[in-house]
Structure 1
Amino acid sequence: MANFNTHLNGAFAVSGILGLTIYKAGLIDDSGFLICVALGTIGGLLPDLDSDNSTPIKLGFNIASFVFAFGLVMHWRSELSLLSLLLLWLVGYGFMRYVVFRLFTSMTVHRGIIHSVPYMAILGLGLVCLNYYALHNPVNISWFYGLFLFGGAMVHLLLDEMYSVNLSGMTLKRSAGTAMKFYRHQDCWWYLLLYALLALLVFTAPPFAPLWEQLRDPTPWAQLKVGILPTMIENLMYKPK
């Protein structure tokens, strides 16, 4: 399978190209462009959350541990002494970093249900709903954010499948088919739960029609076509003879 740098660079490259395209077409603003690229890059690391020794899971739990400990301190800051707050911070961090992390890694198997298309679709749709219903972002922006997260994850799964092919002998490695999967019989009950949750999110998600209409509108794509090449090159190509 592909390594961490390959997943990071691949997701960043694809997200950057797509993000720059819709930004140049005027479909998102400056901050939307940066957030889309960031979410696409993060999405490219998400499927490896089920790997006990992967960089994303270690980094993610480190950040989550700091945030959890900081939240505890902020909540009790007016009721506890300085020494008690320091102790609370250490206990909170240690609980997340070691107890919860150990439980999570013991309950997950690499390339299990987390490393699957429906799981990533749930994360993408969940982000759409979070942005629209909780953060009150416009519907089109919410969909862009969710789609970029999901798209980055698909880049990850696709890279893993590509790396499962032995090009020298044109044969498949044992890992072939374990990356971009929709179902596995051994985890049938888990997948039933995944698809039930996915159906619920599809039902509750904001309407997709406004984004589809925006994408079908020829105006932004005509604007993109005009500015696709540098002015100097366009002048040389279309210079009257």
Structure 2
Amino acid sequence: MANFNTHLNTAFMVSGTMSLTIYKAGLLDDSGFLMCVALGTIGGLLPDLDSDHSTPIKLGFNITSFVFAFGLVMHWRSELSLLALIVLWLAGYGFMRYAVFSIFTNMTVHRGVIHSVPYMAILGLALTYVSYDILHLSLTVSWFYGLFLFGGALVHLALDEIYSVNLSNMKLKRSSGTAMKFYQHKDKWWYLLLYVILALLVYFAPPFEPFWQQLSDPAPWAQLKVGILPEMIKNMQR
């Protein structure tokens, strides 16, 4: 299994390269470019949320606990005294960081259903839905956000599968096939639930055809060639 730094760096490089290409094609603005890089990198860490001692899960729960406690204080700030707000802050943080974290880690098994393609597809589609229908972002940006989150997760799963091959004698390790999986019989009911949720998200997802038409239009990609050719000509004339 690849380590945290390998997942982080690889996801950042892949998402950065893809985002820059799309940005230069004019399909993303400055903020969209930065968000796609960030989402692709985050996606590259998501599958390890089911590992009790992984850096992503610890960091994720620390941030979530802070945001939860902050939200509680902001909601009750005008109704409670300073001392009560401090107690509420500490109680809210402790509840998320220790109680909820303990429940989550006890319910999940490393390389279980979370560490799978359908689970990551659900997260990607959910982000697309939230971006378009709730945050009211453009259709193009919404689909790119979901795809980059999903793509980063696929990079993570692919890396884990690559690391399951013993390159010295080209043998598969015992971990082979446990990373990028679509189904596991021992968790069949969980996978049934995943695919039901995935089917519902696909049905209610923002329209994909207009996004695909824009993506398959050769005009934006022609700009990349126009930008590259003058540099090649200049280099040849030197």
Question: Equivalent residue for 2:27?
Answer: 27
Question: Equivalent residue for 2:161?
Answer: 161
Aligned counterparts, 1:164-179, within 5 A: 164-179=164-179
Write the deviation string for residues 125-166 of structure 1: whole angstroms up to 9, x where unpaired. Answer: 000000000000111110000000000000000000000000
> Does 2:94 match 1:94?
yes
Residue 228 (structure 1) shift: 2.8
Question: Equivalent residue for 1:199?
Answer: 199
Question: Equivalent residue for 1:60?
Answer: 60
Question: Equivalent residue for 1:39?
Answer: 39
Letter in 2 for 1:62: N
Question: Equivalent residue for 2:187?
Answer: 187
Write the deviation string for residues 162-206 of structure 1: whole angstroms up to 9, x where unpaired. Answer: 000000111011000000000000000000000000000000001
Write the deviation string for residues 8-65 of structure 1: whole angstroms up to 9, x where unpaired. Answer: 0010000000000000010111110000000000000000000000000000000000
Letter in 2 for 1:131: S
Letter in 1 for 2:135: L
**Mapped partners of 1:74, 1:207: distance in 2:** 37
Question: Equivalent residue for 2:118?
Answer: 118
Letter in 2 for 1:133: D
Residue 229 (structure 1) shift: 6.0
More deviation in 219-228 or 13-22? 219-228
Describe the SS at the equivalent of 2:113: coil
Question: Equivalent residue for 2:222?
Answer: 222
Instruction: Give the 4+ runs in structure 1 shifted more than 6 A.
Output: none
Letter in 2 for 1:146: G
Residue 83 (structure 1) shift: 0.7
**Mapped partners of 1:60, 1:89: distance in 2:** 18
> Does 2:109 match 1:109?
yes
Question: Equivalent residue for 1:235?
Answer: 234
Residue 234 (structure 1) shift: 2.6
Letter in 2 for 1:235: K
Using structure 2 for the length normalisation, give the TM-score.
Answer: 0.98
Write the deviation string for residues 53-88 of structure 1: whole angstroms up to 9, x where unpaired. Answer: 000000000000000001111111111110111011
Letter in 1 for 2:178: T
Letter in 2 for 1:234: I
Residues paired across the two proteins, number? 238
Residue 227 (structure 1) shift: 1.2
**Mapped partners of 1:5, 1:96: distance in 2:** 26
**Mapped partners of 1:165, 1:36: distance in 2:** 30
Question: Equivalent residue for 1:146?
Answer: 146
Q: What residue ranges of structure 2 are gaps of 5+ in the alignment?
A: none
**Mapped partners of 2:229, 2:176: distance in 1:** 40
Using structure 1 for the length normalisation, give the TM-score.
Answer: 0.97
- Between the two proteins, what is the percent identity of the paired residues? 77
**Mapped partners of 1:234, 1:110: distance in 2:** 53
Letter in 2 for 1:186: K
CA 1:103 to 1:230, structure 2 compared with 1: closer, same or farther past 3 Å?
farther
**Mapped partners of 1:35, 1:228: distance in 2:** 25
Residue 210 (structure 1) shift: 1.2
Describe the SS at the equivalent of 1:227: helix
CA RMSD of aligned residues (A): 1.2
Question: Equivalent residue for 1:11?
Answer: 11
Residue 215 (structure 1) shift: 1.4
Residue 236 (structure 1) shift: 3.1
Describe the SS at the equivalent of 2:228: coil
Letter in 2 for 1:176: S
